[in-house]
Amino acid sequence: LVIVLDFGGQYNQLVARRVRECNVYCEIYSYKTELEKIKAKKPKGIILTGGPNSCYEADSPTYSRELFELGIPVLGLCYGAQLMMHVLGGTVARADVREYGKTEVWVDKRDSRIFQDVSEKTVCWMSHFDTIFKVAPDFEITAHTADCPVAAAENVDAGLYALQFHPEVLHTEEGTKMLSNFVLNVCGCAGDWRMDSFVEESVKQIRHKVGSGKVLCALSGGVDSSVAAVLLSKAVGSQLTCVFVDHGLLRKNEGDEVEAVFGPKGDYDLNFIRVNAQQRFYDKLAGISEPEEKRKIIGEEFIRVFEEEAKKIGAVDFLVQGTIYPDVVESGLGGESAVIKSHHNVGGLPDYVDFKEIIEPLRDLFKDEVRKAGLKLGIPEYLVFRQPFPGPGLGVRIVGEVTEEKVRIVQDADAIYREEIEKAGIAQGIGQYFAALTNMQSVGVMGDERTYDYAVALRAVNTVDFMTAEAAEIPFGVLQRIMGRIINEVKGVNRVMYDLTSKPPGTIEFE
Ligand code: XMP
């Protein structure tokens, strides 16, 4: 285990992902985590992340000196590097020149273990206004840039390493090598954490935990809950019951598709219950336009419907949730990041379901790891690589009040959009894409008649981790074809727009 201590930087999850790409298991903890807790985890290494503060200011995130005296290798990145120097007696202050972006770094200590097989001159991603002016006692400067005398430093005997830049960002061309040098060479991790072992271990652990107990799972048909359900089905077979709530905010035909895979005619050993609760959700959402309120209503109603089904089933021993690691972190439970949206699948637990314990088999995995686990489990590719779909469904893709009519419009437009993207052969190159319904109505003309209809927004983004994203480039001809079909085939739409916004400042979904 490697622990990533989160000081509030924006790339913290990336650090964890890169470490896992070296087949080393790691977890993110807040910098507020007590030293005793960290020690108890017996990590082989600790990585301090970047962060937005100045380490020399009184109320900035910090950590006690003991962290660096545990005999466990520590790698500080950006803020983490500055903090290491500051706490251990070096000098950090505001620099005259702010370094931002791709920067050439000269490696001065060619035999540094962290720079093993790294070029003498290498491009790194810098983003700092403070700089290390003097390294702490017993540290040696190992790299510099044109503006920054300390781009890297180390105290080999103490196992302490500091990098002013961000090796976790892909713009740092040899960053993965540096991180892998740290976790494999310096920390001595074995690098044998793989998906096969994850699946085998999980099945074993679940079997052991569940015994002959009954297990209940809320299945949404999305990647996460599908992989969780199949994992459980492999482990305990028909002791598992999956309840699929069709809340009427699914993509076109999706309810039937989920039933085809997991229902009695499907491939898996489990009990499948589909609840058609569409109208209940539409009724509850009538007149509501505030995004967080909509999210809460959908989340709560989902729980109520689920509870009612659970009551019919009676007492169970375990409840399965398809929570994945970014959900945990984004909901403010793991690291330091602020809560941006209240996530549907974290936190809200059914009060009245009679169960003893929660099972969250994917709680430690990133999305791409969940997909790998899905493939290992033999889940069909089309399901494993399905577009991510938010818990509140089309509810967050319809701006303003949700009505049955609007659901129909966005479902139809989205189906056309997906069909055309697939036909154009560009689906694999896009991270996530969908149609959304803006709440805007505007004037148009169709067949000599004035129209006053809705505008559909097409969203397509490329993203590594769904924390940041950029609009995908779709050939204009394809966009035009989609526009033409949507206007012609979807009643109630007279305008189609393409959303160019990155995340940040936008989010991927609309609400
Ligand atoms: P945002 O809109 O926050 O979306 O940029 C990031 C990713 O998360 C998905 N998303 C959700 N997933 N429950 C989920 O399970 C939710 O409440 C939720 N909200 C957004 C979104 O589709 C994108 O992939």
d(CA 406, ligand 1 centre) in Å: 20
Say whether both 221 and 343 belong to one domain.
yes
Task: Judge if 362 and 449 occupy the same domain.
Answer: no
Closest to 79 (Cα-Cα) out of 50, 117, 54 = 50
Atom of ligand 1 nearest to the CA of 343: 17
CA atoms of 438 and 331, how far apart (whole Å): 26
Mean pLDDT computed over every residue of the chain? 92
User: Which of 384, 412, 434 represents a domain boundary (last residue)?
Assistant: 384
Ligand 1 neighbours (beta carbon < 6 A): 340-341, 343-345, 388, 390-392, 432, 466, 503, 507-509
Percent of the chain's residues with pLDDT above 70: 95
Q: How far apart are the first and last CA of the chain?
A: 36
Q: Report d(CA 196, CA 206) in Å as an integer.
A: 15
User: Computed from CA positions of residues 262, 264, 265, 270, in that sequence, does the dihedral angle turn out positive or negative?
Assistant: positive
pLDDT at 335 over 80: no
- Assess whether pLDDT exceeds 70 at residue 191: yes
- 152 with 107, same domain: the answer is yes
Portion of the chain with pLDDT greater than 90, in percent: 76
What does the pLDDT average to over 142-167?
Answer: 96
Q: How far is C-alpha 269 from the geometric centre of its chain's CA atoms?
A: 29
Domain count, the chain: 3
Interface predicted TM-score of the whole assembly (ipTM), two decimals? 0.98
Residue 142 maps to a domain: yes
Q: Summarize the confidence of residues 476-495 as an average pLDDT.
A: 98
Residue 508 lies in a domain: no
Q: Same structural domain for residues 378 and 404?
A: no
Q: Which of 128, 166, 247, 343 is catalytic?
A: 166
Domain CATH for 226: 3.40.50.620
Tell me, yes or no, whether 471 and 325 share the same domain.
no
Distance 509 CA to ligand 1 centre (A): 6
Domain region containing 282: 195-384
54 appears as a binding residue in the annotation = no
* Ligand 1 atom with the shortest distance to the CA of 330: 3
Exposed/middle/buried for 171, CB within 10 Å: 0-12, 13-18, 19+?
middle
Q: Which of 186, 219, 242 marks a domain boundary?
A: 186
pLDDT at 208 over 80: yes
**pLDDT tens for residues 426-438?**
998 999 999 999 9
339 pLDDT more than 50: no
Q: Give the residue, out of 226, 398, 466, with the most ligand 1 atoms within 8 A of its beta carbon, to mutate for a pocket test.
A: 466
- With respect to residue 294, please indicate whether it lies within any of the assigned structural domains: yes
Give pLDDT, residue 238. 94
Annotation says 166 is catalytic: yes
Residue identifier of the C-alpha nearest atom 10 of ligand 1: 390
Could you say which of 155, 186, 217 is where a domain stops?
Answer: 186
Q: Is 197 annotated as a binding residue?
A: no
- Is pLDDT above 50 for 449? yes
Residue matched to tokens 């936190």: 347
Looking at the structure, tell me whether residues 357 and 422 fall in a common domain: no
Task: Give per-residue pLDDT as tens, 224-237.
Answer: 999 999 999 999 99
Residue 432 is predicted with a pLDDT of 94
Give, for ligand 1, the residue of 224, 433, 509 to mutate: max count of ligand atoms closer than 8 Å to Cβ. Answer: 509
Q: Ligand 1 centroid vs 434 CA: distance in angstroms?
A: 12
In a domain, 133, yes or no: yes
Residues 488 and 339 in one domain: no
Helix (H/G/I), strand (E/B), else coil: 380: coil
Task: Output the pLDDT for position 351.
Answer: 59
Same structural domain, 362 and 276: yes
Report the range of poorest mean pLDDT among 3-7, 137-141, 347-351, 412-416: 347-351
What CATH number did the domain enclosing 38 receive?
3.40.50.880
Residues 364 and 410 in one domain: no
Residue 252 lies in a domain: yes
Q: What is the mean pLDDT of residues 399-421?
A: 98
The predicted pLDDT at position 489 comes to 98
Let me know whether 177 and 201 are in one domain. no
Residue-wise pLDDT for 61-115, tens only, equals: 999 999 999 999 999 999 999 999 999 999 999 988 889 999 999 999 999 999 9
DSSP 181: I
Q: Find the catalytic residue in 78, 148, 189, 217.
A: 78
158 belongs to a structural domain: yes
The preferred substitution site among 346, 394, 508, 511 for testing ligand 1, maximizing ligand atoms within 8 Å of CB, is 508
Name the catalytic one among 168, 254, 301, 511.
Answer: 168
CATH (domain of 424): 3.30.300.10
Alpha helices in 181-314 (DSSP H): 195-210, 223-236, 254-262, 278-285, 291-313
Whether residue 467 lies inside any domain: the answer is yes
pLDDT at 352: 60
Q: Which atom of ligand 1 is nearest to the CA of 509?
A: 2
Is 147 one of the annotated binding-site residues? no
Residue 288 shares a structural domain with residue 378:
yes
Is 208 part of the annotated catalytic residue set? no
- The CA distance from 93 to 239, in Å, is 61
- Confidence (pLDDT) at 334: 47
To the question of whether residue 225 is assigned a binding role by annotation, the answer is: yes
Point out the ligand 1 atom lying closest to the alpha carbon of residue 463: 24
In a domain, 300, yes or no: yes
Q: Are residues 404 and 286 in the same domain?
A: no
The contacts of residue 392 (CB under 8 Å, 6+ apart) are: 249, 294, 295, 298, 299, 344
User: Does residue 223 have a known ligand-binding role?
Assistant: yes
Q: Tell me, what's the pLDDT at 380?
A: 85
Check residue 145 and give its pLDDT: 96
